Amino acid sequence: MTQGEPGRRVIDGRFALEARLGGGGMGTVWRARDLVLDRAVALKEVRPSDPDLAEYDPDAAAMLRARVLREARALARVDHPHVVTVHHVVDGAEHAYPWLVLELVTGGSLADRLARGPLTPAEAARLGREVLSGLRAAHAAGVQHRDVKPANVLLRPDGRAVLTDFGIAAIRETTALTATGSVVGTPDYMAPERISGSPGGPAADLWSLAMMLYVAVEGDHPLRRSSTLATLAAVLNEELPPPAQAGPLTPALNAALRKDPAARPSAAALDDLLAAAEEGRPGPPAPADENTPTSYPLAPPAAVAPAANPPSTTAPAAAPQTERPPVRTVRSRRLTWSLPLLAAALAGVVVWAVLPWGGEEDTPEARSPRPSSDPKTPGPSGTPAQDAGNTEPAEEEAVDLLTPEGVRTAVAALKEATGTDRMSSFTVHEEHVSATVMVDGSDSRHESWTYRTATGATRGNSSGSVSATVSPFSIDDLEWGALSALLQMAEDQLGVEDVTVRYAVVRAPDPVFDTPLGLAVYVSNEYRELGFLESDPKGRVIRTVPHGTD
């Protein structure tokens, strides 16, 4: 934590500031001394991200003040060991905004702890139960957090978790939405329903908690991308890769990280799952609902110019690696967007969601090297990659599907296996093709399918319904002859150096914004720099988005 000497400024004649502990878009936190009770406290200096708000929009400033006071009073009634205690509120004419006097928690934050490495599943489960108990107490008082993340979980010296920044987080969006026309939040941990425009409910806090625990054990965020828009779109549209290090915590994560908030467990049920993980025992089975959609539909804004829109459900795979990437420090990124810009970005550039990291193919096996030519080496499905009696290498392993002929082969196999050419998504990588294929001629229900040269067309475990922003299409309407030229153009013109990942995505028609069928070609590198271009079904380029363009 950054230390600094503020000159012993005294607030309200009682609280002497001693050191700046940190700050963000909605205020600064100070270590202070309560001169009356002679104890250390934390002072939260509440202020909007725009320091001139009170001058040019006094009504908005007054609204901010009123909501801070309302939430502080509500939280002051939450007497819980895992919720930071509100001691006092300073609100006087000499201060533009209120100051919150809070208990001082001295063990650092969960973000500080994760910078030293991930938690074990049992440690994460124990911490998750503590945070969850604080959330349940706050929810009972009518207060939602809306910004659960590692930086907002403080640790006491004995390691117990304390959830903080309630009062600010709880008013952050409502104030921004109604007062300034913008939305503020942390995209990495934001629930899909909140990204789509809903204020969300307690279930949104459970999503954020589960995502925080996923990061705590895995050491990395599964849906963090190279830009804010890409992260938002990934949370909204992509399936989470199965956790590789969660062990007994996996059932709790799988249950709470469902994109449909109605499909998530109750807080009590989630606590049962976390308790089982903490004790290392099998937990109660999470309710299964095969009708749960694998993506959360984006509520379309009004009067937004037509823009590209990708399939609502994708399962792209990670680029093969020889080892698991090193654990890196988990840091949150603050997001502040105007509502029109955010709506247009998510409705239009949500094609960023189809990235090469994440999805049902992003398993430890998908991140491992491809099978060797050793007859005993398992293939992608766990069966031998070739017949043990055949000494010749399996030639089909070397087929590049990201070519006109490769795509046509995959399309033919999928059509033969499913009996239809109707799909709602189609993504092509060099080694596999992922698709969501419509069921029995339905225009709403689909199933996930994958094609690999070694295994042919195989059906996945997920099914669902297309969202309101996607229309099924015939895969035969795409002309794949121009694919090689489009890929070469992407490498030459999009500003991504040392390209390591290339893939193509069919852009489904969007009935809301009248966006036609098309194809998007992406290139990226090991630093997750990404650019893409779009073409019509015949391969004519209609848009390029170089690396660095949000």
Give the closest residue to 76 by CA, choosing from 102, 37, 51, 56.
102
Query: What six digits make up the tokens of 196?
Result: 């789509």
As a whole number of angstroms, the distance between CA 271 and CA 277 comes to 10
Chain-centroid distance of CA 270 in Å reads: 20
Q: Which residues contact 242 (CB under 8 A, 6 or more apart)?
A: 250, 362, 363
**Is 261 in contact with 278 (CB distance < 8 Å)?**
no
Choice between 45 and 478, residue whose per-residue pLDDT is larger: 478
Please tell me which of 32-46, 282-296, 504-518 the model is most confident about, judged by mean pLDDT.
32-46
Percentage, residues of the chain above pLDDT 70: 67
As a whole number of angstroms, the distance between CA 451 and CA 417 comes to 10
Model pLDDT for residues 424-442, shown as the tens digit of each residue: 889 898 888 988 899 877 7
Look at residue 152 and tell me whether its pLDDT is greater than 60.
yes
Look at residue 466 and tell me whether its pLDDT is greater than 70.
no
**Is 51 in contact with 63 (CB distance < 8 Å)?**
no
Q: Which residues contact 326 (CB under 8 A, 6 or more apart)?
A: none
The DSSP letter of residue 176 is: I
Q: Per-domain residue ranges for the chain?
A: 10-103, 110-308+332-348, 400-545
Q: Is 147 annotated as catalytic? A: yes
**Is 530 in contact with 524 (CB distance < 8 Å)?**
yes
Query: What six digits make up the tokens of 40?
Result: 């250390």
As a whole number of angstroms, the distance between CA 335 and CA 389 comes to 58
**Is 88 in contact with 101 (CB distance < 8 Å)?**
yes
Residue listed under structure tokens 């590049």: 400
Beta pairing, strands 501-507 & 518-524? antiparallel
Look at residue 176 and tell me whether its pLDDT is greater than 60.
no
List, in sequence order, every residue forming a beta bridge with 543; answer none if it has no partner.
534
Residue 333's Cβ-count burial label (10 Å; 0-12, 13-18, 19+) is exposed
CB atoms within 10 A of CB 211: 24
- pLDDT value of position 7: 54
Query: What six digits make up the tokens of 124?
Result: 């994460």
As a whole number of angstroms, the distance between CA 106 and CA 119 comes to 20
**Is 427 in contact with 503 (CB distance < 8 Å)?**
yes
As a whole number of angstroms, the distance between CA 545 and CA 532 comes to 5
Please tell me which of 51-55, 274-278, 322-326 the model is most confident about, judged by mean pLDDT.
274-278
**Is 366 in contact with 324 (CB distance < 8 Å)?**
no
**Is 31 in contact with 92 (CB distance < 8 Å)?**
no
Q: What type of residue is 135? A: L
Give the closest residue to 321 by CA, choosing from 357, 375, 360, 359.
357
> Yes or no: is domain 110-308+332-348 CATH 1.10.510.10?
yes
Choice between 214 and 70, residue whose per-residue pLDDT is larger: 214
CA distances from 51 to 21, 59, 286, 334 (A): 20, 14, 47, 17
As a whole number of angstroms, the distance between CA 423 and CA 438 comes to 5
Residue 516's Cβ-count burial label (10 Å; 0-12, 13-18, 19+) is middle
3-class secondary-structure state, position 468? coil
**Out of 298-302, 417-421, 493-497, which region has the weakest mean confidence (pLDDT)?**
298-302
Choice between 327 and 456, residue whose per-residue pLDDT is larger: 456
In the chain, % helix, strand, coil (3-state, to 5) comes to: 30, 20, 45
**Out of 32-41, 176-185, 394-403, 484-493, which region has the weakest mean confidence (pLDDT)?**
176-185
- pLDDT value of position 398: 56
Residue of 79, 147, 158, 289 marked catalytic: 147
**Out of 267-276, 285-294, 328-337, which region has the weakest mean confidence (pLDDT)?**
328-337
Q: Which residues contact 226 (CB under 8 A, 6 or more apart)?
A: 524, 527, 528, 529, 530
pTM over 0.85: no
Percentage, residues of the chain above pLDDT 90: 35
The DSSP letter of residue 368 is: S
Report the interhelical angle of 121-140 vs 202-218 (nearest 10°): 160
As a whole number of angstroms, the distance between CA 206 and CA 184 comes to 19
Choice between 402 and 317, residue whose per-residue pLDDT is larger: 402
As a whole number of angstroms, the distance between CA 213 and CA 165 comes to 18
As a whole number of angstroms, the distance between CA 475 and CA 438 comes to 11
- Superfamily of domain covering 10-103: Phosphorylase Kinase; domain 1 (3.30.200.20)
- pLDDT value of position 31: 92
Helix (H) or strand (E) segment spanning residue 405 = helix 404-418
